[in-house]
Chains A and B, each alone.
Chain A
């Protein structure tokens, strides 16, 4: 755990050193602010003191920004060869991956924290369902955690950041849209499995303020599965077939 924390700390710091973090925060806040307050079905159009419109926007912005954060995590280390340096220190592949995952999650956490002024503003305009807001934030964090681990997996597969970015978008696309679209064409068990796999269903109920253990298990298991896949991709270097 100590090792994971050392790695996460350095990664988070390198986000801020390389401007990635600032650009990501500005664009994330800009876009979500714009669509929450100024454009489309914004807070004023809805006419309710709720953060529904923000949660609707963040659902999409995080989908695009998470891969941008995760794309360099492992891919860059593979490209420059530092992966060899780090893995010959007394740490395991799993600790490296979890450390990187934690750093990305903390960055998203900081991004979400910086949207708290939205909440205070809305709370000043009218009565807010505080529970729903807390649930919404937890939902966003859980969803990001799933995207991050998918992104880290894609980053392990290649040493090219662009490929890694596109690949995590593609995988994310399945969970975001394609499973849901397919599920409406199937009935019975296949339909409900596909529906369960789609993020939309789980996220929407959380952003409305319902925390269901099934939703939490859903996001946590995607995270664990993707991180384990990422680890197995790193360990693959040890295999040598005859």
Chain B
């Protein structure tokens, strides 16, 4: 099921939490929601899941409008809210059965679904405990299990891996990735490597508006534009090397890092690569190329650029 958001705006009193945002998520796509605290991620998710109404704008899930067909939409969405609220006085199995019943899982399917959720979320040893007795990581898994109990077509997860240990994080990411092949997934997170590892597309929101939309690679290209290389050369003198590299057509700028001028940062001209030329140069001059590393702009830097100021 596709989700289409058009001109979505939400006011809390006089404060504008979400300001006229539009985007589309297609089936089989995992969309990562990034943004600083208070950017409007959670508000957007609350509107998508029919918890609160938008002040303006149209949200369509599949062929249904969020304002009109709440029941059908709620049935096709699995939602893990922020802070993972749970009925802590209930045992895990009972809780999953309750949510399943509310979601309309038939009693014939119930056992199977609960069993499957307990397997995929690794809850087997804790399944008879009360939720309040579980550690944070296990609670998070219960939260995920309840979101997926009715095998929804859309998953909306607000910080799905918070509180999990590194092994579990890898497991959950893999789970989300495999689910994302058939379903529509939207997840929000603060952990930037996570977005890169799991999401097909990234949406960065700041102060209620979308500031970037694209894959991790396109975002990098946008932010960076030009190729940056760190190289280290042995066999020539510093000045000789710098002049020779500067003479290459595609090189725009050379910047020495070390004092002997043999470790350098090379910036190429827009949309050009100097990697091969540098290699050929070293071969012809009989220099040794000890290091040639492309410098990637880290997602953290892009994020900071877009959301500060």
Contacts and interface: CB of A to CB of B under 8 A. Distances in A.
B140 interface: no
Contact of B83 (A10, A81, A239): A81
Interface stretch (A36-44, A83-91, A141-149, A188-196): A83-91
A237 B99 contact: no
Given A85-B86, A242-B11, A91 B81 contact: no
B11 A91 contact: no
Interface residues of B, number: 35
Contact of B55 (A18, A89, A91, A240): A240
A121 interface: no
A84 B46 contact: yes
Interface in A18-60: 18
B51 A88 contact: yes
Contacts, number: 73
Contact of B10 (A90, A240, A241): A240
Interface string A218-242: 0000000000000000000111111
Interface string B77-100: 101011101111110000000110
B235 interface: no
B51 A241 contact: no
Interface stretch (B22-30, B101-109, B259-267, B289-297): B101-109
B166 interface: no
Contact of A88 (B12, B77, B98): B77
A88 B13 contact: no
Nearest to A83: B85
A82 interface: yes
B60 interface: no
Interface in B210-238: none
B75 interface: yes
Given A90-B71, A90-B74, A90-B102, A82 B86 contact: yes
B99 A89 contact: yes
A3 interface: yes
User: Range of interface residues on chain A?
Assistant: 20 to 34
B51 A87 contact: yes
Contact of B75 (A10, A90, A92): A90
Contacts of A80: 85, 88
B12 A240 contact: yes
**What is the predominant secondary structure among interface residues of chain B facing chain A?**
loop
Given A81-B81, A90-B74, A3 B102 contact: yes
Nearest to A84: B81
A7 B77 CA distance: 20
B90 A14 contact: yes
Contact of B50 (A6, A18, A88, A240): A88
A239 B81 CA distance: 20
Nearest to A89: B102
B9 to A, nearest CB: 9
A150 B268 CA distance: 73
Given A84-B81, A240-B55, A241-B13, A6 B89 contact: no
A167 B80 CA distance: 33
Contacts of A238: 52-53
Contact of B49 (A6, A17, A88, A237): A88
Interface in A72-86: 80-82, 84-86
B99 to A, nearest CB: 7
A6 B102 contact: yes
Contacts of B50: 88
A160 B213 CA distance: 41
A18 B87 CA distance: 12
B247 interface: no
Contacts of B53: 238-240
B51 A91 contact: no
B308 interface: no
Contacts of A90: 70-72, 74-75, 102-104
Contacts of B99: 89
Contacts of B146: 85
A91 B51 CA distance: 11
B14 A88 contact: no
Contacts of A88: 49-51, 74, 77, 79, 81
Interface in B121-171: 146
Contact of B98 (A6, A237, A241, A242): A6
Contacts of A91: 74, 102
A45 to B, nearest CB: 44
The 10 closest A-B CB pairs, nearest first, are A81-B85, A238-B53, A90-B74, A240-B11, A88-B49, A89-B102, A82-B85, A90-B75, A88-B79, A240-B55
16 contacts: A3-B102, A6-B102, A10-B90, A80-B85, A81-B81, A84-B85, A85-B81, A88-B50, A88-B79, A89-B103, A90-B74, A90-B103, A91-B102, A92-B70, A240-B55, A241-B13
Given A88-B50, A237-B51, 16 more contacts: A7-B102, A17-B89, A82-B85, A82-B87, A84-B46, A84-B51, A84-B81, A87-B51, A88-B49, A89-B99, A91-B74, A92-B70, A238-B53, A240-B12, A240-B13, A240-B53
